[in-house]
Structure 1
Amino acid sequence: MKRELNMAVTILLSLSLFGSLAFASGGGSVIAAKPLGVEKDATSFTQEINTDLLKVLPFKDSRDFKNAQKGFIARGEEVIKDKDGNIIFSTKEFDFMQNLKKKAPATVNPSLWRQMLLVNIAGLFKVHDHIYQVRNYDLANLTIIEGKSGLIIMDPLVSAEAAKAALDLYFEHRPKKPVKAVIYSHSHVDHFGGVRGIVNDDDLKAGKVKIFAPYDFMENAIAENVMAGNAMSRRASYMYGNVLPKDVKGNIGAGLGTTTSAGTVTLVAPTNIIKEDWEDHVIDGLHFEFQLTLNTEAPSEMHYYIKEYRALCPAENVNHTMHNLYTLRGAKVRDSKVWAKHIDNMLLKWGDKSDVLFAPHHWPSWGTQDIKKHVAQQRDTYKFLHDQVLRLANHGYTMDEIGDMVKLPAELDNNWASHGYYGSISHNARAIYNFYLGYFDGNPAHLHKLPPEPAAKKYVEFMGGADNVIKQAKNTYAKGEYRWTAEVLSHVVFAEPDNQQAKALLADTLEQLGYVAESGPWRNFYLSGARELRTGVKAMPTPNTASPDIVQNMSATMLLDYMAVRLNPEKAVGKKMKIGFNFTDTNELYTLILQNSTLNNRIGLDDDADTRIVTTRVTLDNIMLGKLTIAEGVKNGAIKVEGTKGKFKELQGMLDDFEFWFNIVTP
């Protein structure tokens, strides 16, 4: 039954917004190598690139620093721990940045350094007479809105422990009132995962707490990372710099926030779903106007406006950074045209009525004119990218060409919030091309290219062998031509994985690219790649999001669909079977159908099923959470097997187990 349990655990461990949160520990084989060296200093070329930015960007503009510190009340506890004393978040980890103040070290892009100084400002802040935020207690902000008799909490962070600590900080300085409502602005885990840290079961069961969320929230809150969850999670370990030390040569944050908390991810289903494009609701005596903004930064997202406070929340569609139209961890490309249109509709409806704009990331904006300007610049950033990518595509330029061609106009380039601290012009432009035209650029020579390993061997052979490539790469590295150096050396590493000289030089090259990257995720990708080349793939413990709340809210269809993703067709050749499931507590019937090396599932129990498994969804959840094995369930009567025995076990033997710590920068 070990394999059967492993199947369930694998499904569970794929459930995370950021993926990097998904695994309790690395499993399977781990490739470690003899260290090839340590982090290097910035080269003269890197220093020159970063120094030149100081001359062209408006670093004298200090308004963001004033706004980020405005209303500061208290920093609160610097280390947040779980019930067992484990540190789940620390505001101290990035204090080395504040100690250096505003002078960026040579190993960090000064624009990214400025952004992360702003993001690192932590504590409780007064946004409005009746609106408060706790910032940098997690990746997102906890927003507390004071209603007529209680509190309305927006976006309760990633974990229950972090959310509780944030609310406790608020209660240290404001009257302690009951939580009357929670708002999930969208379906990403940093906006709902800590909900049980601020509400309790008794109040939920008694209906004392309403939970508002956008249409299709529950499906999207869980579904995004299930099917490709293992690959997405591994890539997210690069995107968020999980393996990197927190210092000036390593992880300084991710542009959107510093990092994520490592506590317990929870989920409570919404009681009120916003289904219409525009809806009005009275919540604890306050008039909320909601705008549904599906398929923007998240597939399920909404804006809202509080009439009495003249306060506007644009969810995560308006930030102090260019966001991702495509996230480097891997996800479906987002619709930039729809994104910009929803921002414009929000501006049209509430722009002239707003005195304060607050969001689940970064710091607020105050004053109607400043708000309108900020919102319009965010709208125009995404719309400009959309239109220019398609203009160039219709001129015949390809995805990679366009990624290097698009430049923001001066009005937007001089706007800090249009800079790519989280997204980037380069990969967002490619995302728009892919959204409309796919990955293929139309050149038939690119239609059926060789995979990386065999192609790499051919490249190296054509370039005169590994020694010659390394010799030439040393010259281009010495000239500061890092992009080309990385490309050619990657071929050598994939052709000769044990070539230590190539790996060492590639690591040095990726490191310099990381030092000049303006995007936090780009920096983390480059530096993570360099570290992996130097030290090998090493499993690291990461938090487990496989909480009962997440498991219990997964649909049976989702679980069975994921099982199909794991089917190894070679092991299923010639096999045919039908397995029925009868979940007696939820009155759900499903049938799994294996034929043609393909696993389908359908609602309903087929009469000709070979095997019928009668159990409860609660039993299945307990198996998934590791509280019960299938053998134990059969023995204690929680699981009854009717018809042909052993079919489910046979099916289990056809399923792949996914290795999390797979190689990325080496074959």
Structure 2
Amino acid sequence: MFGTEAEVMFASHHWPRFGNERIQEVLRAQRDLYANLNSQVLHFANQGVTINEIHNVYEPPESIANNWFNRGYHGSVEHNVRAVINRYLGYWDANPATLIPLSPADSAPLYVEMMGGADAILAKGQQLFDTGQYFHAVEILNKLVYAEPDNAAAKDLLADNFEQIGYQQENPGLRNSFLAGAYELRSPLPTGTATETATPDVIQAMPTGLFLDYIAIKMDSRKAGDTEFTINIVHPDIEEEYILELSNATLTNIEGYQVETPDLTLTIDRAQLVPVMIGKATIDAQIDAGNAQAEGDRSVLTQLASLLTDFEMTFEVMPGTEGAAAVPGRYDPEAGPSGVEGNPFQVKTVNAGELPN
């Protein structure tokens, strides 16, 4: 709209551009980059090139790629071309062999057996590494590592190949992925305080409905069995109401409605729910302090609390790297976060006669 008039352009990931001629040059080249990537990926897809092949087929024209502001310093062609096919055609390549594949750990032992065992794979992998055929080496060594996660020689050689591939990547995302894989193969999972994404400020900013969705994610359906309940939640201070329902081992919520005969009605100001959300208090404590009222069967909250899982971000990505000592400073589901004793959603079981009026 303003391309012929703009004299200064501010764009993400770049410093400002000055002068209309330069601005038009950048905008036109970036327009052509994304248009070419989209249309030409679909051009190849309509000739049978699949999502598992397109990153080895598509290349942007030199006139586009030779502009430094079109280089893959933030996104990569390898990611983006597959994203285009995924958008229009989905993740599957239409080969029935890949429709319901075995998990890598289940298929890898057969590959290793058919390739003559670990020694043969290591010898070939070393030969491929020595001749710079790193991707080919990764193809067979990855099978061996999945089949034999404790094979240190296999993990070290796979890490060597990851490292060389990583060094050759212009794109930081690709480079860091390969180097992180190499690091994990050579080292146990790191100790120390892990990155926590569900921080108090993030959780506090969640609308109640989104927070209840988060609780549904934390719930392990395998533990729920045939447990069923409904809870009416009322926030008088912001005039919001929710239904929280567990059925078919699935936790859902609906904003703006109440059921006529819930198992429990929990009335709590949103402001008083926030300490519970960030782990500074429990529902039980808020009820005892008079900051919330519970009418009905409070044991359903205990049932819900027993189904929740605390996520640890220290799971392994590469096989055989798990088993490091527990990360200190992490939330202990028995002790509770931030010094709160017990699960933050845990409440004591009470009899109907003990419920407050």
Question: TM class, shorter-chain normalised?
Answer: 0.7 to 0.9
List gaps (5 residues or longer) in structure 2: 321-357
Q: 1:557 to 1:460 in 2, by over 3 A?
A: same
The structure 1 segments of at least 4 consecutive aligned residues displaced by more than 6 Å after TM superposition are: none
Q: Which moved more, 1:649-658 or 1:433-442?
A: 649-658
Which residue does the alignment assign to 1:525? 177
CA separation of 1:569/1:541 partners in 2, compared to 1, >3 Å: closer, same or farther? closer
Identify the residue that residue 88 of structure 2 maps to in structure 1.
436
Figure out how many residues of one structure are paired with residues of the other and give that number.
Answer: 319
Distance 1:507 1:637 in 2: 58
Deviation (angstroms), 1:627: 2.6
Unpaired stretches in structure 1, ≥5 consecutive residues: 1-348
| Equivalent residue number for residue 633 of structure 1 | 286
Q: In the alignment, which of 142, 145, 149 is matched to residue 490 of structure 1?
A: 142
Aligned residue in 2 for 1:389: 41
Report SS of the residue matched to 1:407. coil
Residue 585 (str. 1) matches residue 245 (str. 2): no
> 2: CA distance between counterparts of 1:523 and 1:449?
28
Task: Decide whether the 8 Å contact of 2:204 with 2:277 is kept in 1.
Answer: no
Partner Cα separation in structure 1 for residue 175 and residue 287 of structure 2: 51
- Letter matched to residue 645 of structure 1: R
* 8 Å contact from structure 2 (residues 129, 161) kept in 1: yes
The one of 92, 97, 103 equivalent to 1:445 is 97
Which structure has greater helix proportion?
2
Question: Paired residue for 2:295?
Answer: 642
Q: Secondary structure at the match of 2:85?
A: helix
The one-character-per-residue Cα deviations of 1:294-317 (angstroms, maximum 9, x if unpaired) are xxxxxxxxxxxxxxxxxxxxxxxx
Look up the SS of the partner of 1:353 in the other structure: coil
Equivalent position of 1:467 in the other structure: 119
| Partner residue in 2 for 1:570 | 222
Q: Secondary structure at the match of 1:442?
A: coil
In the TM superposition, 1:603-614 aligns within 5 A as 603=255, 604-614=257-267
| C-alpha deviation, 1:383, in angstroms | 0.8
Q: CA deviation at 1:549?
A: 5.2
Structure 1 or 2: more strand by fraction: 1
Under a length normalisation based on structure 1, what TM-score does the superposition of the two structures give? 0.46
CA gap 1:503/1:363 in 2 versus in 1, 3 angstroms? same
User: Are residues 1:511 and 2:163 paired?
Assistant: yes
CA deviation string 1:240-287 (max 9, x = no partner): xxxxxxxxxxxxxxxxxxxxxxxxxxxxxxxxxxxxxxxxxxxxxxxx
Q: Distance in 2 between matches of 1:596 and 1:575?
A: 8
For the 8 Å contact 1:486–1:509, the answer to whether it is kept is yes
Equivalent-residue separation in structure 2 for 1:627 and 1:658 (angstroms) = 18
Contact 2:238 2:269 in 1 (8 A): yes
The residue number in structure 2 matching 1:602 is: 254
Contact 2:194 2:313 survives alignment (8 Å): no
Residue type at the aligned position of 1:590: Y
- Displacement of 1:588 in angstroms is 1.1
Answer yes or no: is 1:622 the counterpart of 2:267: no
Distance in 1, matches of 2:214 and 2:124, equals: 46
The DSSP-based 3-state class of the residue aligned with 1:612 is strand
Does structure 1 residue 405 correspond to structure 2 residue 57? yes
What percentage of aligned pairs have identical amino acids?
39
Please give the alpha-carbon distance, in whole angstroms, between the structure 1 residues aligned to 2:199 and 2:252.
27
Larger Rg: 2
User: 8 Å contact 1:579–1:648 — kept in the other structure?
Assistant: no
1:623 maps to amino acid? V
Query: 1:586 and 1:468 mapped to 2: Cα distance?
Result: 68
- The alpha-carbon deviation at position 544 of structure 1 amounts to 5.6
Superposed, 1:77-96 pairs within 5 Å as: none
Deviation of residue 644 (structure 1)?
A: 0.9
Task: Select which of 483, 491, 502 maps to 2:154.
Answer: 502
Name the aligned partner's letter for residue 409 of structure 1.
Answer: P
Local SS of the residue matching 1:422: coil
Give the counterpart letter for 1:567 in structure 2. M
Q: Which residue of 2 aligns with 1:535?
A: 187
Once the two structures are TM-superposed, the CA of residue 402 in structure 1 deviates from its matched residue by: 1.1
Change in Cα spacing, 1:444 to 1:427, as seen in structure 2 (3 Å) is: same
8 Å contact from structure 1 (residues 424, 519) kept in 2? yes
Provide closer, same or farther for how the CA distance between residues 540 and 391 of structure 1 changes in structure 2, counting only shifts above 3 A: farther
Q: What RMSD over aligned residues (CA atoms) do the two structures have, in Å? A: 1.6
Cα distance in 1, alignment partners of residues 251 and 276 from structure 2: 21
TM-score by length of 2: 0.85
Offset at residue 616 of structure 1 (A): 1.3
**3-state SS in 2 of match to 1:593:** strand
Greater length-normalized contact order (CA 8 Å, ≥ 6 residues apart)? 1
1:146-545 alignment to 2 at 5 Å? 349-541=1-193
Instruction: Give me the whole-angstrom Cα distance separating, in 2, the residues matched to 1:539 and 1:602.
Output: 40
Name 1:203's counterpart in structure 2: none
SS of 1:431 mapped into structure 2: helix
Is the contact made by 2:204 and 2:278 (CA closer than 8 Å) also made in structure 1? Answer: no
Query: Comparing 493-502 with 632-641, which one deviates more in the overlay?
Result: 632-641
Q: Distance in 1 between matches of 2:274 and 2:110?
A: 50
